[in-house]
Amino acid sequence: MTSSLPGFLFAIPFFAAIAIPVAGFTNQKLCRPVALGALVLLSIVSVIGLSKAVSHGPLSHEFGGWAPPIGIEWVIDGLSGILMVAISIVSLIALVQAGPLVKKELSGRLIPFYSLSLLLIAALGGMVLAGDLFNLFVFLEIGSLASYVLVGVTGGRSLLSAFRYLILGTIGASLYLLGVGYFYAATGTLNMVDMAQQLPGLLDSRAILTGLLFIVLGLSIKMGLFPLHGWLPDAYTYAPNSTTPLLASVVTKVPLYAFVRIAFWVFGMDAVSVQIPVLMVLGWIGAVAAIVGAYLAIWQENFKRMLAYSSVSSMGLFVLGFSLGTETGFAGGLFYVLADTLMKAALFGVAGAAVYQCDANTVADFVRLRRNMPWVSIALLVSALSMVGIPPTAGFFGKWYLVVGALEAEKYFAVATILITSMLTALYFFRMFQHMWAEEPLPLTEPRVLETPFPIRMSLGILTFGIMALGLGSDFVVGLIFESVIPEGF
Amino acid sequence: MADILLYRPHFVAFIILFLLGMYIMVVCLNLVKKLIGMYIMQTSIILFFITLAVKEEGTIPILMPSALALPPEAYANPLPHVLMLTAIVVGVSTLGVSLAMVIALYRKYDTLEEDQILEKIQ
């Protein structure tokens, strides 16, 4: 069905990103309302888009009236609709929370912060909606440029990690572009649907094989898949606390989406599992990534660095889930992506709040949270239990479906990996809780600070509630995934 | 391997440029040299795309009012050129952002060598 909704989903954050410097030029206080208003509107429109795509089938928009494959096409189907809803809602919550932190950390540079955040969200939306491989590259680079600047915006140490992120990210994007060139040379098209029709006859061509290799390598750098995660720990650790909830929750998930789209929609299940066994290789890489990431997280003293390695570990689990090759594994992988988006936003939000109020950077410092910040501690507890996988949180159901999918596929190494990863995750979070609750509280002479500002508490509360609600409503979400997302060929 | 040299010698040049750029990016400690390597690598990909458009005896893909009767095969493929215009813009903006970062690092640490910057941070 033709609809202009995909265009709106990009236009709302993009024009808000342009409007913010204009509005903020006269009065800086206008930046925040414009940004939050745009994101509320975006969330509503993306929910409408998802419900329409589920009930009426995919919505597509052709630019300039040129029909695909000649023209450029943007599509909302089940997968892109669900991701668009997740991106818009989580980024809204992340920006609500960033309010007090921006004032303190970025010394009130509101215009660049809000403008770049919205540009990043617009680019992520563009990547999710694009039905064309080259369009996807352009949005990949726009989003990456915005995130390099958001990482390095405070200068000093963070700038050096942003520069390294830029160098590695550009290598990733160049490899992706090279792969697209190989595909174009072999098929003569860039449109995903058209390419999917041409590929089955070309699967034994060396150009397609090499192109797929380059694309997978490039996207793996962008999504921080072990062993190509080199940029990720430094970037997350030194990035300002106001930007990490947004960066950590959505930025690496969207390159993963691009990989899933290319593997299952452009190539198709049969091609990537039988003819070119990419999924088998990625399954092993994902398993190693999940375990090594969780193992490295145990040894980190800095809380944000621990969470960064935890992201590396989660990325391994997603890749493992998608590579299982069963419907349940695919649905579990996607559900876990959604759950992790909420969990990472909440955990990095807690990290920001802890530094803001108690100056607690390391895991050992978290003893201060117990007395000073009871609300934030509850958010931390719930999201940590969800990371470990304790029912009824969202993380438990994500891992549950992954395990069921692995058993269906009879891949017992995957089952073992998920269980070992959960145990290692429990180890590094319980080490933190030991500091928080088992140690002697601080002497009363240390000054007591008040609870965090209201926006931080509210957004952490919503995220905590969301983690529980997604867990309790997992039947509905997984049913939706089964009904309207699962690609053909399973 | 030999047939690539015989029929597609330009591809070998692009592979050398790509690897050279990547080598400079990884090995050089000077930040500006890293960016030079990045630009060489991006350029090799742009050249690769452009050569996909070339046809023997192909003419410029502009529809002239005087010469209507040419079949589509007679024109060079315009799409790779258009794609690469976009890719050049992307590359230039990446370079712009990265040079701004290098300037900010230089003002703060007074050097462009990565190892010296790391020393000054600690």
Joined tokens for residue A241 = 């606390």
Average pLDDT over residues A285-302: 90
Consecutive H or E run containing A78: helix A78-105
Residue A444 has pLDDT above 60, yes or no: no
Query: Considering CB atoms only, which of B52, B97, B98 is closest to A184?
Result: B52
Separation of alpha carbons A74 and A76, rounded Å: 7
| The pLDDT value given to residue A257 | 92
Are A484 and A78 within 8 A, CB to CB? yes
C-alpha distance from A170 to closest chain B C-alpha (Å): 8
| The pLDDT value given to residue A165 | 92
| The pLDDT value given to residue A450 | 65
| The pLDDT value given to residue A448 | 60
Residue A221 has pLDDT above 80, yes or no: yes
Local structure of residue A74 (DSSP, 8 states): E
Contact B45 A177 (CB under 8 A): yes
N-to-C CA span, chain B: 49
Query: Considering CB atoms only, which of A138, A155, A166 is closest to B104?
Result: A155
Separation of alpha carbons A316 and A393, rounded Å: 20
Local structure of residue A255 (DSSP, 8 states): H
Give one DSSP letter per residue of A181-249, joined into a string. HHHHHHHS--BHHHHHHHGGGGTT-HHHHHHHHHHHHHHHHHHT-TTS-TTHHHHHHHS-TTTHHHIII
| The pLDDT value given to residue A156 | 76
Q: What pLDDT, in 10s, does the model give residues A74-132?
A: 888 888 989 999 999 999 999 988 888 887 777 767 888 889 999 999 999 999 998 88
Contact B38 A157 (CB under 8 A): no
C-alpha distance from A211 to closest chain B C-alpha (Å): 13
CA proximity to A405, closest of A355, A463, A354, A332: A332
Query: Considering CB atoms only, which of A141, A157, A178 is closest to B90?
Result: A141
Specify the amino acid at residue A350.
Answer: V
Specify the amino acid at residue B119.
Answer: E
Instruction: For chain B, say whether A184 makes contact (Cβ under 8 Å).
Output: yes
Contact B114 A160 (CB under 8 A): yes
| The pLDDT value given to residue B67 | 63
Q: What pLDDT, in 10s, does the model give residues A147-186?
A: 999 998 887 788 888 999 999 999 999 999 999 999 998 8
Separation of alpha carbons A3 and A369, rounded Å: 49
Separation of alpha carbons A124 and A13, rounded Å: 10
Q: What pLDDT, in 10s, does the model give residues B52-82?
A: 888 777 777 777 776 666 777 778 888 888 8
Classified as helix, coil or strand, A151 is helix
**Which residues in chain A are contacts of B90 at CB distance < 8 A?**
137-138, 141-142, 173
Instruction: For chain B, say whether A210 makes contact (Cβ under 8 Å).
Output: no
Separation of alpha carbons B84 and A141, rounded Å: 14
By CA distance, what is A185's nearest residue in B?
A: B52
| The pLDDT value given to residue B58 | 77
Are A222 and A255 within 8 A, CB to CB? yes
A333-337: long-range pairs with CB below 8 Å, 24+? A333/A402, A333/A405, A334/A79, A334/A82, A334/A481, A334/A485, A335/A394, A335/A397, A335/A398, A335/A401, A335/A474, A335/A477, A335/A478, A335/A481, A336/A395, A336/A398, A336/A399, A336/A401, A336/A402, A337/A86, A337/A253, A337/A256
| The pLDDT value given to residue A173 | 93
Task: Give the list of residues 6+ apart from residue A187 with CB closer than 8 angstroms, or none.
Answer: A194, A195, A198, A199, A202
Separation of alpha carbons A474 and A488, rounded Å: 23
- Tokens 């994500």 belong to A398
Local structure of residue A53 (DSSP, 8 states): H
| The pLDDT value given to residue A443 | 60
Instruction: For chain B, say whether A160 makes contact (Cβ under 8 Å).
Output: yes
Residue A230 has pLDDT above 60, yes or no: yes
| The pLDDT value given to residue A179 | 93
Q: What percent of chain B has pLDDT over 70?
A: 93
Separation of alpha carbons A87 and A139, rounded Å: 15
Consecutive H or E run containing A59: strand A59-62
Joined tokens for residue A285 = 């890489």
| The pLDDT value given to residue A290 | 92
Least confident of A142-146, A283-287, B71-75, B76-80: B71-75
Decide which of A450 and A313 is more confident: A313
Joined tokens for residue A304 = 């944000």
Query: Considering CB atoms only, which of A149, A171, A174 is closest to B97?
Result: A149
Residue A446 has pLDDT above 70, yes or no: no
Confidence class for position A445, pLDDT limits 50, 70, 90: low
Separation of alpha carbons A403 and B47, rounded Å: 47
Least confident of A182-191, A296-305, A364-373, A470-479: A364-373
Residue A277 has pLDDT above 90, yes or no: no
Interface with B, mutate which of A138, A147, A159, A170 (most B CBs under 10 A): A170
Whole-model pTM: value is: 0.92
| The pLDDT value given to residue B36 | 93
Local structure of residue A130 (DSSP, 8 states): B
| The pLDDT value given to residue A325 | 81
Q: What percent of chain A has pLDDT over 90?
A: 28
Q: What pLDDT, in 10s, does the model give residues A11-25?
A: 899 998 888 888 888
ipTM: 0.92
| The pLDDT value given to residue A288 | 92
Domains present along chain B, CATH in parentheses: 2-54+76-121 (1.10.287.3510)
| The pLDDT value given to residue A197 | 85
Query: Considering CB atoms only, which of B38, B94, B121 is closest to A141?
Result: B94
Local structure of residue B64 (DSSP, 8 states): -
| The pLDDT value given to residue A23 | 83
Q: What is the dihedral of CA A353, A359, A364, A368, to 10 degrees?
A: -80
| The pLDDT value given to residue A124 | 93
Contact A170 B94 (CB under 8 A): yes
C-alpha distance from B94 to closest chain A C-alpha (Å): 7
Separation of alpha carbons B27 and A290, rounded Å: 29
- Average per-residue pLDDT in chain A? 86
Contact A181 B45 (CB under 8 A): yes
Joined tokens for residue A81 = 């609709």
By CA distance, what is A165's nearest residue in B?
A: B98
Residue B40 has pLDDT above 70, yes or no: yes
Average pLDDT over residues A268-281: 82
Separation of alpha carbons A366 and A370, rounded Å: 7
CB pairs under 8 A between A and B: 71
| The pLDDT value given to residue A30 | 82
Separation of alpha carbons A357 and B108, rounded Å: 28
